[in-house]
């Protein structure tokens, strides 16, 4: 593979090999995944010392462990004797140490090798052996890992997302569901599908009557990006301008109901009731949305939720955030749906795709159980109409990209600017 053939072209075209070539997938593993901060799990998945989560990336397996003192550490998931994977999935080292299943070498939760069976026979074994360390740092309730000992601090990598997202208090969110599946596409195609609104008219035309898919701002932020409705558009309920409807031809109440149906969070039933109540009041045009936003703010405040960081017009608006390299999704006041996509082994044609549904817990109620599901085939599960449509595109993208008649992606310079930015940041890793 000639490197110049796979870099982003001067005219912004994206060579298809970045999505289809096994060599490029290997290059990403060697230069990107081995050096980038990436989300391994949520902190609340590791409540007690000894709790662990395995994180797989490409052909690598990492182990994230809550230690005795409560700190979280990560290791390469391989016994120092003959390499056996130490743990799979998630669980707890209840005895306070990790023991290899094969010859029973033992490791403390901080990775130190503490017990070797028949140690006196290993005359060459050096003192102080420990599992290969991987950096682990937390932000927003997420555990990020990075195998590169020389990587920048996590907060430098994330900048400016932590400041931007501070009012959303991601660290207070709790997992409601974690759904995993495999999609028949490159991991980047999956991320791309959630990083622009340009496809809404082609893929989800049914939502145009209550979605302004055009008045969207795309913004590149450090290595990351976001997109969302323009500030002015947040204060109006209007359909897609593509439908060319006059004001008499659409109903604000229907648009608000459509909008709220897409929100998540612990108080969804109350919020839907609020919409119905306000619709019944037949407010003059232009007053329904501000009224709903003010009431939603009151509702959450009355439930003991701190929404002090939000202007009322943020209450119905998602920050669609892209955290390089592979997490993307809408974040609302009180809830978030985040998608994480990563290569399955070294296969450029398949991605492990995780969906996290997160919400601020009700302060007055006991914690709700987390739904965890793993679907070997994405089509086994109904992900909802919109997401089903997105996933159905994935195989077609991957098959079509391999066509001899297709060389490179031609991105829309405005509406797909976040995708181009992702590729440029990726090239920064591949070039180092
Ligand atoms: S491979 Fe782990 S103890 Fe032998
Ligand atoms: Fe979509």
Q: What is the 93 CA–ligand 1 centroid distance (Å)?
A: 17
pLDDT at 264: 62
CA 8 to chain centre: 24
Residue 219 lies in a domain: yes
Q: Are residues 371 and 328 in the same domain?
A: yes
Sheet holding 327-332, edge to edge: 216-221, 224-229, 319-323, 327-332, 335-344, 347-359, 174-183, 371-375
Ligand 1: residue whose CA is nearest its atom 4: 103
- The CB of 101 under 6 Å from ligand 1? The reply is no
Eight-class DSSP state of 197: S
Q: What is the 387 CA–ligand 2 centroid distance (Å)?
A: 6
Q: What are the phi and psi torsion angles at 227 (to 5°)?
A: -150, 155
- The CB of 414 under 6 Å from ligand 1? The reply is no
Atom of ligand 1 nearest to the CA of 83: 1
pLDDT at 302: 86
Sheet holding 90-92, edge to edge: 38-42, 142-146, 133-139, 72-76, 60-66, 51-57, 90-92
Q: Of 135, 150, 165, at which residue does a domain stop?
A: 150
Q: What is the 276 CA–ligand 1 centroid distance (Å)?
A: 63
User: What is the Rg, in whole angstroms, of the alpha carbon atoms belonging to the chain?
Assistant: 24
Q: Are the C-beta atoms of 280 and 274 separated by less than 8 Å?
A: no
Q: What are the phi and psi torsion angles at 241 (to 5°)?
A: -60, -20
Q: Of 89, 116, 150, at which residue does a domain stop?
A: 150
Round to whole Å and give the CA distance between 408 and 169.
Answer: 40
- The CB of 107 under 6 Å from ligand 1? The reply is no
CATH number of the domain residue 217 falls in: 3.90.380.10
Query: Domain span at residue 110?
Result: 38-150
Ligand 1: residue whose CA is nearest its atom 1: 82
Round to whole Å and give the CA distance between 413 and 410.
Answer: 9
- The CB of 82 under 6 Å from ligand 1? The reply is yes
| 3-state DSSP assignment of residue 159 | coil
Q: What are the phi and psi torsion angles at 134 (to 5°)?
A: -125, 140
Q: Are residues 31 and 91 in the same domain?
A: no
- What is the count of structural domains for the chain? 2
Residue 93 lies in a domain: yes
pLDDT of 162 higher than 90: yes
DSSP for 28-81, please give it.
IIIIIITTS-EEEEEGGG--STTEEEEEEEBTEEEEEEE-TTS-EEEEES--TT
Q: What is the 382 CA–ligand 2 centroid distance (Å)?
A: 15
Q: Are residues 55 and 23 in the same domain?
A: no
Q: Are residues 32 and 46 in the same domain?
A: no
The top-scoring range by mean pLDDT among 17-21, 253-257, 309-313 is 17-21
CATH number of the domain residue 138 falls in: 2.102.10.10
Mean predicted lDDT score pLDDT of the chain: 93
- The CB of 105 under 6 Å from ligand 1? The reply is yes
Q: Are the C-beta atoms of 328 and 195 separated by less than 8 Å?
A: yes
User: What are the tokens at 208?
Assistant: 């145009």
Q: Closest-lying ligand to the alpha carbon of 83?
A: 1
Q: Closest Cα partner for 180 from 371, 320, 420, 346?
A: 371
Average pLDDT over residues 372-393: 94
Q: Are residues 180 and 125 in the same domain?
A: no
Residue 110 lies in a domain: yes
Q: Are residues 218 and 351 in the same domain?
A: yes
Q: What are the phi and psi torsion angles at 43 (to 5°)?
A: -60, -35
- The CB of 103 under 6 Å from ligand 1? The reply is yes
Q: Of 85, 115, 150, at which residue does a domain stop?
A: 150
Its pTM stands at 0.95
Q: Are the C-beta atoms of 14 and 408 separated by less than 8 Å?
A: yes
Round to whole Å and give the CA distance between 429 and 33.
Answer: 9
Q: Are residues 341 and 426 in the same domain?
A: yes
Q: What is the pLDDT of residues 51-106, one digit of tens each?
A: 999 999 999 999 999 999 999 999 999 999 999 999 999 999 999 999 999 999 99
Residue 336 lies in a domain: yes
Q: Are the C-beta atoms of 132 and 78 separated by less than 8 Å?
A: yes
Residue 269 lies in a domain: no
pLDDT tier for residue 266 given thresholds of 50, 70 and 90: low
Q: What are the phi and psi torsion angles at 42 (to 5°)?
A: -90, 150
Round to whole Å and give the CA distance between 305 and 308.
Answer: 9
Residue 257 lies in a domain: no
Q: Are the C-beta atoms of 60 and 36 separated by less than 8 Å?
A: no
Q: Are residues 333 and 204 in the same domain?
A: yes
Q: Are residues 321 and 431 in the same domain?
A: yes
Tell me if the bond preceding 160 is cis, omega within 30° of 0: yes
Residue 139 lies in a domain: yes
Round to whole Å and give the CA distance between 372 and 180.
Answer: 8
User: What are the tokens at 281?
Assistant: 């009041």
Any long-range contacts for 392-401 (C-beta under 8 Å, 24+ apart)? 393/193, 393/199, 393/203, 394/183, 394/184, 394/185, 394/189, 394/190, 394/193, 395/183, 395/184, 395/185, 397/185, 397/189, 398/19, 398/20, 398/184, 398/185, 398/186, 398/189, 398/349, 401/16, 401/19, 401/20
More confident residue, 137 or 333: 137
pLDDT of 144 higher than 90: yes
Q: Are residues 211 and 320 in the same domain?
A: yes
Average pLDDT over residues 387-397: 96
Q: Closest Cα partner for 218 from 416, 11, 420, 426?
A: 416
Q: Do β-strands 174-183 and 371-375 pair in parallel, antiparallel, or remain unpaired?
A: parallel
Q: What is the pLDDT of residues 190-206, one digit of tens each?
A: 999 999 999 999 999 99
In sign, the C-alpha dihedral spanning 116, 120, 122, 126 is positive
Q: Are residues 44 and 145 in the same domain?
A: yes
pLDDT at 69: 93
Round to whole Å and give the CA distance between 315 and 329.
Answer: 17
Q: Are residues 353 and 424 in the same domain?
A: yes
Least confident span in 113-127, 289-303, 325-339: 289-303
Residue 265 lies in a domain: no
């Amino acid at each position: 593979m000639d490197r110049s053939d796979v870099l982003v072209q001067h005219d912004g075209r994206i060579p298809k090999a970045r999505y289809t070539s096994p060599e490029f997938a290997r290059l990403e593993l060697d230069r990107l995944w081995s050096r980038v901060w990436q989300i391994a799990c949520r902190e609340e998945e590791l409540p007690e010392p000894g709790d662990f989560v395995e994180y797989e990336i490409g052909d690598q397996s990492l182990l994230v462990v809550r230690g005795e003192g409560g700190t979280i550490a990560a290791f390469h998931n391989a016994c120092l004797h003959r390499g056996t994977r130490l743990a799979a999935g998630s669980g707890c080292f209840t005895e306070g140490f990790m023991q290899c299943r094969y010859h029973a070498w033992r490791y403390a939760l901080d990775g130190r090798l503490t017990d070797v069976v028949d140690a006196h026979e290993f005359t060459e074994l050096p003192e102080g052996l420990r599992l290969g360390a991987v950096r682990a740092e937390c932000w927003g309730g997420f555990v990020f890992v990075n195998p590169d000992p020389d990587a920048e601090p996590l907060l430098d990598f994330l900048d400016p997302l932590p400041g931007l997202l501070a009012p959303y208090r991601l660290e207070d969110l709790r997992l409601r569901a974690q759904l995993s599946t495999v999609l028949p596409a490159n991991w980047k195609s999956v991320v791309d599908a959630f990083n622009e609104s340009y496809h809404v008219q082609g893929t989800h035309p049914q939502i145009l009557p209550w979605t302004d898919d055009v008045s969207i701002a795309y913004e590149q932020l450090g290595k990351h990006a976001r997109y969302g409705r323009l500030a002015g558009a947040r204060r109006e309920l209007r359909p897609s301008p593509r439908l060319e409807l006059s004001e008499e031809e659409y109903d604000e109440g229907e648009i608000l109901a459509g909008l709220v149906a897409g929100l998540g969070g612990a108080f969804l039933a109350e919020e839907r009731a609020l919409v119905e109540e306000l619709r019944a009041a037949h407010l003059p045009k232009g007053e329904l949305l501000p009224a709903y936003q003010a009431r939603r703010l009151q509702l959450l405040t009355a439930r003991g939720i701190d929404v002090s960081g939000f202007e009322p017009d943020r209450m119905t608006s998602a920050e669609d955030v892209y955290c390089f390299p592979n997490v993307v999704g809408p974040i609302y006041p009180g809830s978030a749906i985040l998608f994480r996509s990563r290569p399955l082994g070294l296969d450029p044609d398949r991605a492990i795709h995780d969906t996290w549904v997160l919400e601020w817990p009700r302060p007055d109620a006991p914690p709700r159980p987390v739904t965890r599901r793993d679907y070997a085939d994405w089509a086994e599960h109904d992900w909802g109409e919109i997401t089903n449509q997105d996933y159905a595109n994935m195989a077609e993208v991957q098959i079509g990209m391999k066509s001899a008649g297709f060389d490179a992606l031609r991105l829309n310079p405005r509406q797909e600017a976040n995708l181009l930015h992702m590729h440029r940041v990726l090239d920064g890793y591949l070039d180092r």
